[in-house]
Every structure is written in C-alpha cells, then in structure tokens.
Amino acid sequence: MNLPALKREWLSNIRGDSLAGITVALALIPEAIAFSIIAGVNPMVGLYASICIAVVIAFAGGRPGMISAATGSMALIMIVLVRNYGIEYLLAATILTGILQLIMGWMKVGRFITFVPYPVVLGFVNALAILILLAQLPFFINASWMMYAMVAGTLAIVYLLPRFTKSVPSSLAAIVVMTAIVIGTGISVLTVGDIGTITRALPVFHLPMVPISVETLLIILPYSVTLVIVGLLESLLTASIVDEMTDTKSDRDREVKGQGYANTITGFFGGMAGCAMIGQSVINIKSGATGRLSSLVAGLFLLFLIIALGDVLARIPMAALVGVMIMVAISTFDWKSVRDLPKVPVSDAIIMVITIAIVVFTHDLAKGVIAGVVLSALVFGWRISAIHATGRVRDDGIRIYTVKGQLFFGTMEAFIDLFDYANDPQRVEIDLTHSHIWDQSAVAAIAKVVDKYQQRGKSVYVTGLNPESQETLDKGFS
C-alpha cells in the first residue's frame, strides 16, 4: 500500500472511525451471542469470531468502512454440523471455508458479482432489512412497558441528537445513556448478560481436534462450500451497497481474499465462520466511519469490553440495542424501490419481490439471490430470444432479408423459419447489420439456411456482419 492510500484509508478520519468502531462493537455483542446460540455453540465462539474477523478484515479486506463478523446467515448453515459432529468439526469447516475463499480470491471471482441484477440486489437489501427488524420482535414478547419506553427513548436519541450535534454518533450516545439509566436506577430489564454468559478470556490458538483424513474432509466439505457461497454473496453485495452509500469503489477480489484470511485465522482461534454484515456496516457508515480503522477499533474494543468491562457489558439493556437495530432496519430498507414499483418493468418488480420472499421465509441469502439470478436470466433469455426479419425485393430482383435480433442457440430454430425458401427469387441477401453471431449454434443455423437455398438452386449472400460476427462465422465455416 502506498503512502497516500495509507493516509486515506487509515489516518484521514481517526476520530470518526474510532467512535464509529466503538458503536459497532457494542452492537456486535448481542448479535454475536445470538448467532452462537443459533449455531448451537458457546456464546464466546461468536464473540471470538467477531473479534478476529473484524481485526483481520481491517487489514486484508477490500472495502474500507465495511464491517465483517459472525452472521446469522452463516450460523444457520452450521446447525446440523455442530449437532452431529460438535464444535471441533465446525472449527475445521471454518478453516476450510477460509482456504476455499482464498483460492477463489486468487481466481478473481469477485468480478462475477456484477452478474447479480439490480432487482436482486434490491431484494437482498430489503430482505435483510426485514430480517433485522423481525429479529428484534422476540424481545418484545411478554416485555414490560419499560422495554417499550427504553426502545422509544433510544430511537428518539438516535434521530433527534444529530439535529443538535454530530460530534458523537447518536447510536453510541443512545446506548450509553440507556445503560447509565439502567445502572443508575437499578430497574429490571433484559440485559446482554441475560442472553449469554460472557467469559473474560482471550482467544487462544487452537488446532481443531479432528482426524486428518478423507472422511473428515467429506464431512466438512459440503458445509464449507455452502459457507463460501453464502459468505461471498453477502460480503460482495454488502460491499456494493457501501460503495453506493459512500460513492466509492471497493476491491472485490481483495475482499474475497480478505474474507478467506479472516475465516482461516478465526478457525484457529476458536471462532466460527463469518462474513460482511450489512446492518453493522450501515451503523458504521451512519456513525461517521470512512476508513479501515473503524473495523480495527470495533474488533479491539469488543475484546477490551469482554476482558476489562465484562460486568458493565453484561448490564447493557437489550432495549438500547434493539432500538439501534430498528434504526438500522429502517435505514437499510430501500424505500425508493417500493415507490418506484409502478414505474419499473413488471418482471423486475416480480424478481425483487420473489427474492425478498425467499430470503425472508428461508432465512437463506443464497437461495434468494440464486433464485433471483435464475429468474433474471430466464427473463433476459426470453427477451433476447426475440428475432424477426423484414423482406423486400430490390429493383435488380434480389430478395433482401433484414434480420433484427441476436443469433445464438436460443434463436436458432426461429432464425431458420424466417425465410420463404420455395417462393424467394434466385438470389437472396441476408442483412445482419442489426444482429450479432454469438456462438456455433448461430453459425450452424446460417449454414442450414444457406443449404436450404442451395438445394433449390438459389444463391445466398450474408452481409452486414460486424468484425466479431465475421470472425465467428469464418471460424465456423473453416
């Protein structure tokens, strides 16, 4: 990294990045604990993962200002593995996940995120916002009026404080104020300590205690492959969203490798696999972060909280954190996409809604995004497969067909049926100025058309080819 980049990514916004990182660290705690419970492991596994991943990504990631840690989408994949084989196999699967991501990073697969259509991205964003909101609802079940009051107070501070001062992130101020009220008054509300036990211990290097064998590889490989797919999809889509929020560009291939380094190291320090978090990334950006320092501070401050302030940490009211996450859900949801639904093509609107529905009902990002991409591909294939031709007879008696549409395997039969072989004159010209030859199927279709005319003793000329189409045709006939 050159000196200007070092200054820009690490030193240009020290105060903003530091305060944002502290805010993120506080918000990470309940989520890391909750995700550990989902996966069926000790809460410290999620906390250690969040610490390690945040610190490593600060240096190795490709998107300054983006937060990576333990996530719910990854935790859901681990349930069966942990239940059937235990924590040691999870750690081994985490390491393998990182290694596979490193390989994919070196293969430069980051560019393929551009193949995810915009309606699918919108569906992904809106679905995650809904999931973040739904994840807060259990905290209101059988809750006292104090829970509702503290959530309302948190939201009031979050939205009103920036009108008076922006020197301190409003989310951080809300958490501090609500925690002070709980400690100062001694009121009984649900706290972080009630969700899971926080152990004051540093993460230590640990080799997973699993047999080194083909059998072990076959056990963990399916889970690792799924973790790789989900982790990279969520990380790269989150990077795209942060790019748009900050009007900057991320290095996708570096991000893929960064996720690989983070998960590999995390597996050796007792943590589970993770990826980028859209909710925490939004908190980070909204709190004033712009650089890598914010992720480093988040990881290190989370470690400090666990070791030095474990007792205080356990007394943070969940109402404050729920309020912050409600703000994140509201901020994350793309409200413009709903207002614009009547204006966009019906197919795009349907794809966005289906993506949202699948992600929300399955809690599986990969299924929603893959379904959205497949639907988009089918719609695109349907649209691009439209091909037609207009015919006219020139003064010299030559029949000219002007073809409009793409020539590829999907339009092969339709192209062959465009021509009137029996009734056309002796000389025919096929004008492909408004078309393009994409593959060998198109070349074969042209050859069949030419053959049909020649069988009737007629001559055919193909004109208007662009250089790429001419090259494809020449290779096909050579």
What per-residue confidence (pLDDT) applies to 32? Answer: 86
What per-residue confidence (pLDDT) applies to 89? Answer: 97
What per-residue confidence (pLDDT) applies to 70? Answer: 93
pLDDT < 70 regions, the chain: 1, 478
What per-residue confidence (pLDDT) applies to 478? Answer: 62
What per-residue confidence (pLDDT) applies to 281? Answer: 93
C-alpha 125/C-alpha 119 separation (Å) is: 10
Q: What is the DSSP string of 4-60?
A: HHHIIIIITTHHHHHHHHHHHHHHHHHHHHHHHHHHTS-HHHHHHHHHHHHHHHHHH
Three-class DSSP category at 242: helix
pLDDT tens-digit series, residues 391-403: 999 888 999 999 9
Token pair recorded at residue 339: 């207002």
What per-residue confidence (pLDDT) applies to 13? Answer: 92
What per-residue confidence (pLDDT) applies to 260? Answer: 97
Q: How many CB atoms lie within 10 A of CB 422?
A: 7
Residue 398 class from Cβ within 10 Å (0-12 exposed, 13-18 middle, 19+ buried)?
middle
* Residue whose C-alpha is closest to residue 54's, from 222, 255, 245, 302: 302
Cβ neighbours for 92, distance < 8 A, ≥ 6 positions apart: 208, 210, 216, 220, 267
pLDDT tens-digit series, residues 319-328: 988 888 888 7
Task: Give, in order, the Cα–Cα distances in Å from 334 to each of 72, 73, 119, 241.
Answer: 21, 20, 11, 11
Report the amino acid identity of residue 447.
A
